[in-house]
C-alpha cells in the first residue's frame, strides 16, 4: 500500500507512506518537494533527505497524527478487520482527519485540506444544533448524527474544532477549510474545569508567556471554554494552517510515551531530550530560559500534566523551528483523582515536595547550563519572577476559586521552604490545600 502525504499550502504531495506485506511502514519525501526552496520537513525526527525512513521513526510520527482517544480508530479496525498496528491501513481510512496541516490519503487522491474563505467555506451552527453538540460532549455521548466533527482532536478532554465567524457565530468548515478555535466542554461533575483552565491560561499570559487566547461561555447551561487555535492565521477573510508538531513527534516517540515515567533511558520525554529540541531552535538561549520559567510556573499553579504532547514546535521556511504558544495549561492537581507526579522529572524530583536547590540545579545542568554561578543566578531570578507574579494575583484568583488560590499559595510556601527563601504575603497567610 502506498499513501500520499500532503501538507496544507503545498499543491502536490510532499511524500509517500508505504507499507509492505509484513505491515512495516516507511516514509519518503518526494524529489519535487526536496527541490523546493520553501520545503518544510514533517518533523525534526523526519528531516529533509532523499533516503526513506524506516519503520520505527515512520510509525512513531504517523501514529501521533491519530486521536489519543481511540474510538474512531477502534471502529475502523473492527469495520475493516485491520490489525491494531496496521498504521497504513488505519490511515487509509482516517488520514484525511489527521491533526494539523498534515493529511494522509490514498495514492492520487485530491487534497482535502485547503485554506478557507470565511464568507464562503463555513456553515454556521443553528443555536439548537450547537446546544445539542455541547450536551453530547458534556455527557460523553456521540455527537448528533447530522454533525461531522471537522477536525478530530487529540487529548482526553471533550472538545470539537469550530470556526468563529466575524459576526461571532460558530460554524463548521466546508470542503477541507481550516477551523479557527477549539470548543472544550467539561464532563459532568467537572464543570469548574473550564473556568480553571481559562484562569490558568490567563495567568500564563500575565506571566509573560505567549499563550493561546481563551474565552469562557455558557451554552445550554453548560460552561465551556473557547480556545483560539495557535496554528491558524486569519488574514483578509482567509484562514490557513501553520505546520507544527508536538514534542512526541519531534522526538520520534509514540503518544503512549508522552510522560517520562513511561519511557526508558534514551527513549523518553525527559529534560535531556527537551534540550536536544531546544538546541535546534532559532534561538536556543531564549528557548531554554522560557522552558525553565514554564517549568517553575507549572509547578506553582499545580499543572502536573505538562507532557510531550502539550509542547509543540512551529516549522518555518528555511528549515527553522521555534516553540509555539502555550496551550492546555490546567491546574490538574486540583482534581484529587489525578496524580501530582510531574510529566518530566526536575533533577531527581518527581513531585513538588521533592524539589529543592539540588534538584533545580541538576535540572538546569541537564538543559546545558554549564556554569554553577550562572545556574544559581538564573534559578534565583526565575523563582523570584514566578513567585512575585503569582503572589500578586492570589487575591483575584481566590476571589473566583478559593481552592485554586490555596493551591498556588501552598505551592509557593512549599517551594520557598525547600529553597530556604522567605515566603511572601499573601501566600504566607492563605489556607493550605490538601489533596
Mean pLDDT of 87-102: 89
Asked if 294 and 303 count as a contact pair (C-beta separation under 8 A), the reply is no
pLDDT of 155 above 60: no
pLDDT, tens digit (0-9, with 9 covering 90-100), for 51-80? 999 999 999 999 888 765 556 777 888 888
pLDDT, tens digit (0-9, with 9 covering 90-100), for 13-39? 999 999 998 889 999 999 999 999 999
Mean pLDDT of 317-335: 94
Domain residue ranges of the chain, discontinuous segments joined by +: 2-106, 116-235, 243-429
Please report which helix (H) or strand (E) contains residue 62, including its range.
Answer: helix 55-63
The pTM of this model reads 0.93
**Domain made up of 243-429: CATH architecture:** Orthogonal Bundle (1.10)
Asked if 260 and 269 count as a contact pair (C-beta separation under 8 A), the reply is yes
| Among 38, 180, 181, 182, residue whose Cα is nearest residue 117 | 180
Nearest 5°: the CA angle 218, 222, 226 is 50
Roughly what angle, to the nearest 10 degrees, separates helices 402-419 and 372-400?
A: 160
Amino acid at each position: 500500500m502506498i499513501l500520499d502525504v500532503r501538507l496544507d499550502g503545498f499543491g502536490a504531495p510532499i511524500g509517500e507512506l508505504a507499507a509492505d506485506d509484513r505491515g512495516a511502514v516507511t516514509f519518503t519525501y518526494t524529489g519535487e518537494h526536496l527541490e523546493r526552496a520553501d520545503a518544510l520537513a514533517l518533523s525534526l525526527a523526519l528531516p529533509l533527505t532523499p533516503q526513506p525512513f524506516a519503520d520505527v521513526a515512520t510509525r512513531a510520527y504517523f501514529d501521533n497524527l491519530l486521536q489519543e482517544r481511540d474510538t474512531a480508530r477502534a471502529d475502523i479496525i473492527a469495520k475493516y478487520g485491520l490489525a491494531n498496528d496496521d498504521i497504513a491501513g488505519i490511515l487509509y481510512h482516517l488520514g484525511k482527519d489527521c491533526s494539523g496541516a498534515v493529511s494522509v490519503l490514498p495514492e492520487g487522491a485530491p487534497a482535502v485540506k485547503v485554506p478557507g474563505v470565511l464568507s464562503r467555506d463555513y456553515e454556521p451552527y443553528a443555536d439548537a444544533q450547537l446546544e445539542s453538540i455541547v450536551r453530547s460532549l458534556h455527557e460523553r455521548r456521540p455527537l448528533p448524527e447530522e454533525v461531522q466533527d471537522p477536525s478530530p482532536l487529540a487529548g482526553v478532554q471533550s472538545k470539537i474544532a469550530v470556526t468563529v465567524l466575524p459576526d461571532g457565530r460558530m460554524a463548521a468548515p466546508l470542503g477541507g477549510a481550516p477551523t479557527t478555535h477549539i470548543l472544550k466542554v467539561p464532563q459532568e461533575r467537572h464543570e469548574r474545569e473550564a473556568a480553571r483552565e481559562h484562569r490558568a491560561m490567563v495567568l500564563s499570559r500575565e506571566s509573560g508567556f505567549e499563550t493561546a487566547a481563551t474565552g469562557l461561555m455558557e451554552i445550554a447551561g453548560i460552561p465551556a471554554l473557547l480556545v483560539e487555535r495557535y496554528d491558524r492565521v486569519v488574514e483578509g477573510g482567509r484562514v490557513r494552517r501553520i505546520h507544527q508538531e508536538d514534542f512526541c513527534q519531534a522526538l520520534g516517540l509514540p503518544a503512549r510515551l508522552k510522560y517520562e515515567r513511561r519511557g526508558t533511558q534514551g527513549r523518553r520525554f525527559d529534560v535531556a531530550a527537551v534540550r536536544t529540541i531546544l538546541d535546534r531552535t532559532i534561538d536556543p538561549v531564549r528557548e531554554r530560559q522560557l522552558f525553565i520559567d514554564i517549568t517553575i510556573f507549572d509547578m506553582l499553579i499545580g499543572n502536573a500534566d505538562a507532557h510531550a504532547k502539550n509542547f509543540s514546535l512551529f516549522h518555518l521556511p528555511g528549515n527553522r523551528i521555534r516553540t509555539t504558544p502555550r496551550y492546555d495549561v490546567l491546574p490538574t492537581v486540583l482534581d484529587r483523582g489525578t496524580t501530582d507526579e510531574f510529566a518530566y522529572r526536575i533533577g531527581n524530583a518527581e513531585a513538588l515536595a521533592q524539589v529543592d536547590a539540588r534538584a533545580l540545579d541538576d535540572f538546569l545542568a541537564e538543559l546545558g547550563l554549564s556554569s554553577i554561578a550562572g545556574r544559581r543566578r538564573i534559578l534565583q531570578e526565575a523563582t523570584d519572577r514566578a513567585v512575585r507574579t503569582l503572589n500578586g494575583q492570589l487575591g483575584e484568583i481566590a476571589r473566583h476559586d478559593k481552592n485554586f488560590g490555596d493551591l498556588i499559595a501552598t505551592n509557593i510556601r512549599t517551594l520557598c521552604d525547600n529553597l530556604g527563601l522567605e515566603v511572601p504575603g499573601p501566600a504566607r497567610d492563605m489556607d493550605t490545600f490538601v489533596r
